[in-house]
Amino acid sequence: DAMVIQNPRYQVTQFGKPVTLSCSQTLNHNVMYWYQQKSSQAPKLLFHYYDKDFNNEADTPDNFQSRRPNTSFCFLDIRSPGLGDAAMYLCATSGWGTYEQYFGPGTRLTVT
């Protein structure tokens, strides 16, 4: 089945130690999104790619970076994780036409 896959599902990292989360999709969608969701809060858009064009939200900290090497894959890099970066990170895609969003299962990040 076509889907959005996130790895790992759970990630534990140490304070200040760089970490990379990955997302892949088999939907061939041209738009990919990264969201941060903290407990009982709305998902917050960090950035998105429209094809290869990178769009950063104005309030996304510089500590967060992203790469999209091809249509299928997108990575979220957190350069120096702080305790406040512990959250669920959600990847989503959408494609030409309806632009309906499809979400992956998320990666739960813990910072120790």
The site for another protein (CB under 8 A) is made up of 6, 31, 33, 40-45, 48, 50, 55, 88, 90, 92, 94, 98-106, 108
Nearest distance in Å: CB 111, another protein = 17
Nearest distance in Å: CB 41, another protein = 6
Secondary structure of the chain as H, E, C letters: CCCEEEECCEEEECCCCCEEEEEEECCCCCEEEEEEECCCCCCEEEEEEECCEEEECCCCCCCEEEECCCCCEEEEEECCCCHHHCEEEEEEEECCCCCCCEECCCEEEEEC
Nearest distance in Å: CB 93, another protein = 11
Residues 6+ apart with CB under 8 A from 42: none
Which of 52/79 has CB closer to another protein? 52
Nearest distance in Å: CB 106, another protein = 5
Which of 26/55 has CB closer to another protein? 55
Which of 77/100 has CB closer to another protein? 100
